[in-house]
Chain A
């Protein structure tokens, strides 16, 4: 990795409430303008790692550095001010708010509330379907549209780092391809993207950098194409599809 990391997590230990550690020494490094994909089996702690970075879960140990400055221990509403936005699994929309109201909530943290409408228009230009549906309740959207709304809602803030927790979950293959096109488009605009993917092969194929997590520990970090090639990782985490690929 040539550029200094935009986000770095080192030796993270974290868990829910008073429960055991789900993360037990997780590391992650991402350079600006990269797509990083975190892979690993169920229960490896992939979502927990994203939630810990976002501040929803407090790290019990370890540091999280944003451009070298520590941000661990901050609340989510403080983390977001560092330009880091998480789109959680299952989208987490506000079901009985309209599309426009959901987007408006996306700009909640903006200091200058007068620019919200302008930002919403920008997002609607990126996702024209949201403009067509702007008066509809979020819960009436299809799965793909909901995912676009969730991503659009986070873009209202113009974050530098977008974390997507299983963006392809529950979507039809065609929509999943569309989703990855959007992710590439965002990267081309200069955003740094961190995704968690259950479908590891597809996730890595669409990423620059990969991170393999198992039992709460980071086993391997490196260029995504190298991870796909690595025999050991292919056997353990990428399943049969990778072998035939």
Chain B
């Protein structure tokens, strides 16, 4: 029983972080239909921001999270205006975004590799190696903080989407772009802000993963597959889906890792992707494509 709880805790904490990583990806897809293959490289970029602020100034990665968030927001806004806005009305936009974001991922990967080399990095605040011991249970502080902060950020995002004026506009644009426009929503503006928020969320999750995983630029290739499987399971474009999908798969992966060995835990994501696409292609919370 204790072992079960222990694995559940690991799974949940990791699931929270995955959910934050996936939330920006699913938001950007939902509003703009951009399949952002470059999402994880911006997570890595966020992680580098926290890494260097920690290394140079001793700034705790949790405190540098807002800095990573804001810097990546600015980069997201600039990127959308430079690369995507011109083609937003193009009927082949969705297909084009796959190639465009793939190219962006390659370029940023190369750029980060050039700047920081492909050495494994990790920030090491004191809590990253510490743990809460509750009876026989072992809760690593780093993962606990990262998971909790992720869930709090997602709740803020949810409140923002649910109650703010721009949040209304973002949801309306997701559901019916033309109707939103006809009611006075400046869709170009909403898209720019949403893309900025999506990349900012990547940056924020980068700050958190910087102390729970070691990272290097090319690691994003590994993550894009995992993140895609998370949001496909949840239903592409659905924030709730991204959260449920992430937590579900992270917990399952933790158990698979425990029973069959860690090599197999990554397989969980790919196998489930395969099964979801066969059984329920729209995902758990996605709209059925008619």
Q: A108-B165, A108-B169 are in contact. Are A92 and B182 (CB under 8 A)?
A: yes
Q: Which residues of A contact B183 (CB under 8 A)?
A: 80, 105-106, 108-109, 153-154, 157
Does B81 belong to the interface (CB within 8 Å)?
Answer: no
Q: A104-B168, A108-B165, A108-B169 are in contact. Are A94 and B179 (CB under 8 A)?
A: yes
Does A81 belong to the interface (CB within 8 Å)?
Answer: yes
Q: Report the Cα distance A108→B186, complex, angstroms.
A: 11
Q: A94-B171, A94-B172 are in contact. Are A76 and B181 (CB under 8 A)?
A: yes
Does B261 belong to the interface (CB within 8 Å)?
Answer: no
Chain A interface category by residue count: 20 to 34
Q: Which of B171, B178, B179 has the most CB of A within 10 A?
A: B179
Contact B169 A88 (CB under 8 A): no
Smallest CB separation, A184 vs chain B (Å): 24
Does B135 belong to the interface (CB within 8 Å)?
Answer: no
Contact B182 A88 (CB under 8 A): yes
Contact B182 A17 (CB under 8 A): no
| Selected contact of A108 from candidates B89, B168, B178, B287, CB within 8 Å | B168
Closest to B91 in A: A17
A-contact 0/1 string along B161-196, CB 8 Å cutoff: 000010011011001101111111110000000000
Q: A-B pairs with CB below 8 Å: how many?
A: 66
Q: Which of A95-135 contact B (CB under 8 A)?
A: 95-97, 101, 104-106, 108-109, 113
Q: A97-B171, A105-B168 are in contact. Are A88 and B185 (CB under 8 A)?
A: no
Q: A94-B172, A97-B172, A101-B168 are in contact. Are A108 and B179 (CB under 8 A)?
A: no
Q: Which residues of B contact A93 (CB under 8 A)?
A: 176, 179
Q: Report the Cα distance A104→B172, complex, angstroms.
A: 11
Contact B185 A96 (CB under 8 A): no
Closest to A80 in B: B184
Dominant secondary structure at the B interface: helix
Q: A76-B182, A101-B168, A108-B169 are in contact. Are A94 and B91 (CB under 8 A)?
A: no
Contact B91 A108 (CB under 8 A): no
Q: Report the Cα distance A77→B183, complex, angstroms.
A: 7
Smallest CB separation, A163 vs chain B (Å): 10
Q: Which residues of B contact A80 (CB under 8 A)?
A: 182-184
Chain B interface category by residue count: 10 to 19
Q: Report the Cα distance A94→B184, complex, angstroms.
A: 14
Q: Which of A176-221 contact B (CB under 8 A)?
A: none
Q: Report the Cα distance A213→B219, complex, angstroms.
A: 60
Does A169 belong to the interface (CB within 8 Å)?
Answer: no
Q: A17-B89, A94-B176, A96-B175 are in contact. Are A77 and B181 (CB under 8 A)?
A: yes
Does A56 belong to the interface (CB within 8 Å)?
Answer: yes
Contact A92 B185 (CB under 8 A): no
Q: Report the Cα distance A94→B168, complex, angstroms.
A: 11
Closest to A138 in B: B175
Q: Which residues of A contact B168 (CB under 8 A)?
A: 101, 104-105, 108
Contact B178 A88 (CB under 8 A): yes
Contact B175 A94 (CB under 8 A): yes
Contact B185 A77 (CB under 8 A): yes
Does A49 belong to the interface (CB within 8 Å)?
Answer: no
Q: Which residues of A contact B185 (CB under 8 A)?
A: 77, 108
Q: Which residues of A contact B287 (CB under 8 A)?
A: 95-96
Q: Report the Cα distance A75→B185, complex, angstroms.
A: 10
Smallest CB separation, B199 vs chain A (Å): 24
Contact A92 B176 (CB under 8 A): yes
Q: Which residues of B contact A154 (CB under 8 A)?
A: 183
Closest to B169 in A: A108
Does A85 belong to the interface (CB within 8 Å)?
Answer: yes
- Interface pairs A-B: 9 shortest CB-CB: A109-B184, A92-B179, A94-B175, A76-B181, A77-B184, A80-B184, A77-B186, A105-B172, A108-B184
19 contacts across the A-B interface (CB closer than 8 A): A17-B89, A17-B91, A54-B182, A76-B181, A76-B182, A77-B185, A77-B186, A80-B183, A80-B184, A85-B182, A88-B178, A88-B179, A88-B182, A92-B178, A94-B171, A104-B168, A108-B183, A108-B184, A109-B183
Given A97-B175, A113-B165, 18 extra CB contacts under 8 A: A75-B181, A75-B186, A76-B184, A77-B184, A77-B185, A80-B182, A88-B178, A92-B179, A92-B182, A94-B176, A95-B176, A96-B175, A96-B287, A97-B172, A108-B165, A108-B169, A153-B183, A157-B184
